[in-house]
Structure 1
Amino acid sequence: MKLGMLTACLPQATLPEIAQWAAENGYSALEVAAWPALGDRPFTATHIRAEDFSERDADQTRELFARTGLTLSSIAFYDNNLHPDDQERRSINTHLLSCIDAAAMVGCPTVGTFIGRDPGATVADNLRQAEKMFPRIVDYAGERGVKVIIENCVMEGWHPDGYPGNLAYSPELWEWMFSLGLYLNYDPSHLIWMGIDPIEAVRPYVDRIPHAQAKDIEIFPALRNRFGYPGRAVNRSDPWDVGWWRYRVPGLGQVDWRRLIDVLYEGGFDGVLSVEHEDPVWSGTPDKVRDGLDIARRTLARHIVA
């Protein structure tokens, strides 16, 4: 197992700058953000331009990772592959294929994305749509030696009423994804607020997890008693502000990282555990973000056998 980080938390830094900092501060791998230039969407960045990635870009990327001694664990493009607008859906699907091409060019084993959801259709209808679309993407990736991994983020902000916007949030849906040839980029934080035990839930599925993310979560029970599971309903100007929980860097929330990492080891996981920094306390400036990454490293590194 190696400790890595997702580069999206430092959107203004260049990939060489992030790689140098990571190598000097105890990280062994990078999960590299590859969103297209989409403006100021939160928690996205463009550290690889997959849509026009060239052989020269691939050579430079391989040289960077060789020079810093880091592993390129995954290319990250988390967007709604079932977007309700047909033109936007095609654009997202096409960019995902570009990320797969870029991963193949640099020898990166995985590309991460979401299933997504059309919020105007039922869950069952969305699953049938995905069953028509994703096998082609899985085949395309497999022909290039790349695995497509799906993060189990709920993406409640994509749904107008705060219900799941990414149909990968439970073990039932993981089994459905696996039947399509997809893999899981496991993040325990999302399970806790849904009432699922993140340690017991993952035990049967470790062999389908080539990559995992480390994000923590802080729960406020008194506010949950007020708002209920879907979160704020009357005054919710920010679709992502559920009102009763927030993400934290590992060590400042409720995930039991000692037990979770032990379960991953027990199940044979030998991939990268990648810190996904979305902690509002340790955000706002690049220095605070890096401080948050340092907290995460100090929390996790003592449980990982180098």
Structure 2
Amino acid sequence: MKIGLLGLPTEETFKKAKEKGLEFVEFSINVESNVDQFLNDVHEIADWSKKYEVGVQSIGRWGSDRLDSKGNIIEEELKISYQLVDAASVLNCENFVAGCNYIKEISYYENCTAAIEYFSKLIDYGKEKGVKISTYNCDWNNFIDNEMAWTIIHGYLQELGIKYDPSHSRYGGRDYLKEMRDWGERFYHVHIKGSVIIEGARFDDPPAGLDQTDWKSFMAVLYAKGYDGGLSIEPHSHNWEGELGEKGVDYTVDFMKRLLV
């Protein structure tokens, strides 16, 4: 396994990763992001990757609608997904991560069928570009974040992976170690983010190692499942920003490196 950092698609992110002894960076080109700007910068980003000898491990897109109110694929969003897969290919990035919104006007079965159609297209396109496709286990405009959805959608699409983050499972009231035991073979990418729950409610996302996650057991299950992908540190707390945030990232880097064997 290798450790990296989720950040903005800037030279500073590559420089920071290099200074911290990390092997890769990750980018999220989410619903509020300037997709065109990112696509225009892809070759410059490739130059930064070479300059700092830091790879790009994953590109994701969170929050966007993939389906319209009738459950049909939104072609413009599919086009954006294709473009981001193209960008991943240029950057020698092996993972593209996406979700799928839930349409209340149609049944759960129909939602799953529509999601399967969407991800089938992405998987086929990704094969042409050498890029694997995963769903994210966050509930931001996405219903494919739990075992019921995985059983149907990933059960049918054997080449569809999972980008896993234990904090989402914890905040959703699920057993992250059980999910890892049952689905760890399908993990293509992993986020490292702390989580603290007080009186049943989300309190903060502090640096991993300063939270309630059993990271030793987490890593033990990943090793048992043969996972050899990226561990991407995701700074996510508004309490850990600026100088304190940098110290938090450094703490997590040191903490996670001690768990590698």
Q: Does 1:175 align with 2:138?
A: no
Amino acid at match of 1:32: F
Residue correspondences, number: 258
Alpha carbons 2:115, 2:153 under 8 Å: kept: no
Instruction: Give the distance between the partners of 1:112 and 1:268, measured in 2 at CA.
Output: 20
Q: 2:18 aligns with which of 18, 23, 33?
A: 23
Relative to 1, partners in 2 of residues 1:45 and 1:200: Cα closer, same or farther, differing over 3 Å? Answer: farther
Please tell me whether residue 252 in structure 1 is matched to residue 210 in structure 2: yes
Scaled by the length of structure 1, what TM-score is found?
Answer: 0.75
Residue in 2 that maps onto 1:11 = none
Letter of the structure 1 residue corresponding to residue 118 of structure 2: M
Q: Tell me the secondary structure at the aligned position of residue 251 of structure 1.
A: coil
Aligned residue in 2 for 1:125: 110
3-state secondary structure, aligned to 1:27: coil
1:258 aligned counterpart, secondary structure: helix
Deviation at 1:67, TM superposition (A): 2.6
Q: 2:52 aligns with which of 46, 51, 68?
A: 68
The CA distance in 2 between the partners of 1:190 and 1:2, in whole Å, is 22
Match of residue 78 from structure 1: 62
1:296 paired with 2:252, answer: yes
Amino acid across the alignment from 1:76 = G
User: What residue is the counterpart of 1:105 in the other structure?
Assistant: 90
Aligned alpha-carbon RMSD (Å): 2.6
Cα distance in 1 between the residues matched to 2:34 and 2:193: 18
Tell me the equivalent position of 1:32: 27
Change in 2 beyond 3 A, CA 1:46/1:213? farther
Q: CA deviation at 1:199?
A: 1.5
Q: What's the counterpart of residue 261 of structure 1?
A: 219
Between the aligned residues of both structures, percent identity stands at 24
Deviates more, 1:135-144 or 1:294-303: 294-303
Deviations 1:181-233 (A, max 9, x none): 32101111111122322122212322211211111211111xx3xxxxxxxxx
Alignment check: 8 A CA contact 2:135 2:162 kept = yes
Aligned with 1:199 (options 165, 177, 202):
177
1:280 CA drift (Å): 2.2
> Structure 1: any 5+ residue segments left out of the alignment?
9-13, 39-43, 156-164, 225-242
Q: Distance in 1 between matches of 2:185 and 2:98?
A: 19
Instruction: Quote the Cα distance in structure 1 between the aligned partners of 2:258 and 2:36.
Output: 29
Q: 1:41 — aligned with what?
A: none
The change in CA–CA distance for 1:253 and 1:169 in structure 2 (over 3 A counts) is same
Supply the distance in 2 between the matched residues of 1:215 and 1:89 (Cα, whole angstroms).
Answer: 31
Query: How far off is 1:139 after superposition?
Result: 0.6
Structure 2 CA distance for aligned equivalents of residues 168 and 216 of structure 1: 22
Q: CA deviation at 1:88?
A: 10
